Amino acid sequence: MNKAQASNNILLQTSVILKLELIESCCHEALVGQVTFEVPTLPGRDIQICAMSQLPPKPGLSTKEGHARLLHDLANIELQAMELGFRTLVELSEEAPESFRQQLVEVILDEARHLKLCLRQIERLGHSWGEWPSHLGLWSCVSLEDSLLERLVIVHRYLEGSGLDASDKIQRRLSGTQIVGTDKVVGVIAEEEVGHVLFGSNWFREFCKSETGETDPDRVFNEILRSVFPRLPRRLERLNHEIRKKAGFSVSEISALEQIRLGQMSHA
Ligand SMILES: [Fe+2]
Ligand SMILES: [Fe+2]
């Protein structure tokens, strides 16, 4: 029997406020599995969308506007992270163990909370969601054809992993400003994101073993990274080896990422 379409779907919903109100019940429905969720080509938005390269210049962090813009960019990342996690839950996790699905929901709900923290601080600074355009660059990195292993590499280990490298630098820049509140929001997010990347690292190894019988997950990581890299955003950020290790990266995986980074630098 065909399952009915879910009556509320955060991927189709355009309002960010309604997405946040609905995310918990959507995750619950997805876990129960009695309805299906349509995955649109692009997720619904209530603000202007543009290419990453078309985003307006960022004001400096000595102004409230600069802080609000930083948080707006971060909110856009958190929103896409929430949607990408939900997309994996409804597209790819049916065969995965219940513990994976439960942990994925925890990650999704963390992203929702991070998004709320950003939106609240933007308002406190006297600005609002939608004041600047946003991109859908993260959403566009995944495809319907991805395997669960590819999704873990793309979303949790590459995209979220790149966020770990960047957050250290942002926190240092914020520590030199007089405007309060933003540093706390960024600090909470930076700390919790390590857990999200670790979730990706641990399950990547687990699925490598159980799904493919592979004894060398580092080799699989290297292979998948190179095959999906052409569709990922170019990151020139210096890798933070210490945080990467905390987030479950092996020395060999870090060196695969460094090789790719240096390769793109030499072509830049
Ligand atoms: Fe997050
Ligand atoms: Fe995350």
What separation in Å is there between the alpha carbon of 62 and the centre of ligand 1? 24
Please tell me the number of the ligand nearest to residue 185's CA.
1
> SS3 for 85?
helix
Cβ-count burial 16-42 (b if 16+ within 10 Å, e if not): beebbebbeebbebbeeeebebebeee
Query: Residue 126: exposed, middle, or buried by beta-carbon count in 10 A (0-12, 13-18, 19+)?
Result: exposed
CB 170 within 8 A of CB 186: yes
What separation in Å is there between the alpha carbon of 81 and the centre of ligand 2? 6
What separation in Å is there between the alpha carbon of 266 and the centre of ligand 1? 31
Where do we find the tokens 């955060």? 10
pLDDT exceeds 60 at position 257: yes
Q: What is the pLDDT of residue 213?
A: 79
DSSP assignment letter at 229: G
Residue 257 belongs to a domain = yes
CB 75 within 8 A of CB 42: no
Residue 17 belongs to a domain = no
Above pLDDT 90, what percent of the chain?
Answer: 84
The secondary structure of 14-64 as a DSSP string is --HHHHHHHHHHHHHHHHHTSEE----SS---SS-B--GGGSPPPPPTTSH
Containing structural domain, residue 215? 49-267
Please tell me the number of the ligand nearest to residue 77's CA.
1
Residue 6 belongs to a domain = no
Where do we find the tokens 């390590």? 194
- Asked whether the whole model's pTM tops 0.75, one would answer yes
What separation in Å is there between the alpha carbon of 107 and the centre of ligand 1? 8
Give residue-wise pLDDT tens across range 101-149: 999 999 999 999 999 999 999 999 999 999 999 999 999 999 999 999 9
- CATH number of the domain residue 243 falls in: 1.20.1260.10
Query: In total, how many domains does the chain have?
Result: 1
Where do we find the tokens 């979730």? 199
Q: How many helices (H) and strands (E) does the chain have?
A: 9, 2
Residue 25 belongs to a domain = no
Residue 221 belongs to a domain = yes
DSSP assignment letter at 233: P
What separation in Å is there between the alpha carbon of 111 and the centre of ligand 1? 4
In 3D space, the residue among 220, 214, 224, 167 whose CA is nearest the CA of residue 190 turns out to be 167
Give residue-wise pLDDT tens across range 56-80: 999 999 999 999 999 999 999 999 9
DSSP assignment letter at 234: P
What separation in Å is there between the alpha carbon of 170 and the centre of ligand 1? 15
CA 96 to chain centre: 20
Residue 212 belongs to a domain = yes
What separation in Å is there between the alpha carbon of 175 and the centre of ligand 2? 22
Residue 34 belongs to a domain = no
Q: List, as ranges, residues with CB under 5 A of the ion ligand 2.
A: 81, 160, 193, 196
Give residue-wise pLDDT tens across range 1-55: 678 999 999 999 999 999 999 999 999 999 998 899 999 999 999 999 999 999 9
Residue 8 belongs to a domain = no
Q: How far apart are CA 162 and CA 172, in angstroms?
A: 17
What separation in Å is there between the alpha carbon of 37 and the centre of ligand 2? 22
What separation in Å is there between the alpha carbon of 185 and the centre of ligand 1? 11
